[in-house]
Structure 1
Amino acid sequence: MTPGGAPGSTRPVVSFGEPEGYDERVRPRKIGVSVRPKVAAAAACVVLGLGLIGGAVTGSWLTGEPGDTGARDSFTVAGGLWHNVPVDQLFPPTVAGRGAGPGGADRTWTRIAVAPDTGCTDAFDPLMRKVLAPVGCERLLRATYTDATQSYVTTVGLLFTKGDAAAMSALARRFKDENLGSRTDLMPRPYAAQNTVAADFGPGQRASWTVSVLTDAPVVVYAVSGWADGRTVDEPEPAAEAMESGITTAPAQAGLGNEAQGLADRVERGLRQTVSSPTEKPS
């Protein structure tokens, strides 16, 4: 739980007046009046130098390089989204997943419950809390969705941390280097909403999951999926593995890896769009 790009933003319209040249005494004169060769050469060098500097600054802004003011501002903005943005913007009532299902099939998810925003004490298993401890827990937002057939349920979460950019990068590296995202003892817990099809969606019903540690926002995005009938899953499978071609496990055959990954991807995408255009709802 951010954050890529600035969709919806526009470039300002800038107009320029008639240009003037300068003589060797720095007195303005209209372009077209002859200027001594040395002065012209010096002016050309200045223009070229400014162009190179401007290009370098623009490139840094576009790529969000570490230390860039724009990147730092976006990181800070993302950290405050949990109390600045309506829940319908972070967790839309309906999420379209074009091509998100097995074989590129389309998916549609409907939100059936939103958990109260809380801390992280009871939201993760003890070992997962220990892994996340270096970045802390500012706030946790969760919502549970079901597919169009109400056969599957998926909880998606946005963990807003207290970590800075360096701490988030370190956690992301650890997840990658130690393959923490594939460990069954580090699965996120689901949100079982009473009086819904997810009422029986407990820890034993977790079938597939994904965890994404963002480095351009103090957010960990995750999703965990299971069957809506409350069946127990003996061998959960990480979404990345369940989505591989030829896998015949039950979560893979049911497309539960696609459910978790597809929904997490779209919630993360919406988060990034919100950071870029906080006053506009992501499409």
Structure 2
Amino acid sequence: MSRPPTFTPPPCARSRALDTPRGEFAVLDALPSGRPLGTALLVPGYTGSKEDFIALLEPLARAGYRAVAVDGRGQFESPGTDDPGTYAQEELARDVLAQAGALGGEPVHLVGHSLGGQIGRAAVLLDASPFRSLTLMSSGPAEVVEAQQVKLKILGDALATMTMDDVWAAMRAFDPPAEADTGGEDLRRRWLRHHPVQLIETGRQLATEPDRVAELAATGLPVHVLSGEADDVWPVPVLDEMAVRLGARRTRIEGAEHSPNTGRPVETAEALVAFWAGL
């Protein structure tokens, strides 16, 4: 679970609803002081939310970019449904296309963290025209490693039979001592507002995602593979190989693990800006 350093957005960002043909989505919309050099759409990972990108918003805006972090369908402050079909990957990808379209103007730089990267990839494969580039942040070519598949199965089974509050208590009981007291009430509040069906269905996607790297490479869209130095969801050598297959820019953020956006936000923002500026 990503642990944002804060749930309070910087002064350059405002919390609002993004109206699209597929419904409203909660976003944090950060604007630079002058005319934007470009717009970035930031898509969070599994159990995450727009707040996972809070620490990126100010450095991206300072560099001249508009940055819009979004809660996907059924995540935190964006409403979900009880229908599992609404969380099929293609449906979530069409949500991303609608979000990009609602931002207006030129094609956007799409950034997807973990699950968000695979949903972003699916959106690009449906229609690459709304996008200037794709950054896959700690997001691999196919299914997660076996140990993570086991965790997702256990969590999915628990969500099907327990309340969100009871699942939260059980998860925190297994947190490492260093993490047991971090995040506090904000993390709990976010967890309780996630839709359990969304978590069950997207967890299944992470455990069964096929390798679509060749399809993505064939689109010709510029791709950036960004990660930390270590990753327990997709091994870093797997991400390295994916970057080679894509002909992508490759960045490893020193000192970061699966969530460089929260662990090393300044360095991550610098890497994103360098990639966009070089296109």
> TM-score of the superposition, structure 2-length normalised?
0.28
TM-score, normalization: structure 1? 0.28
Larger gyration radius, structure 1 or structure 2: 1
More helix by share: 2
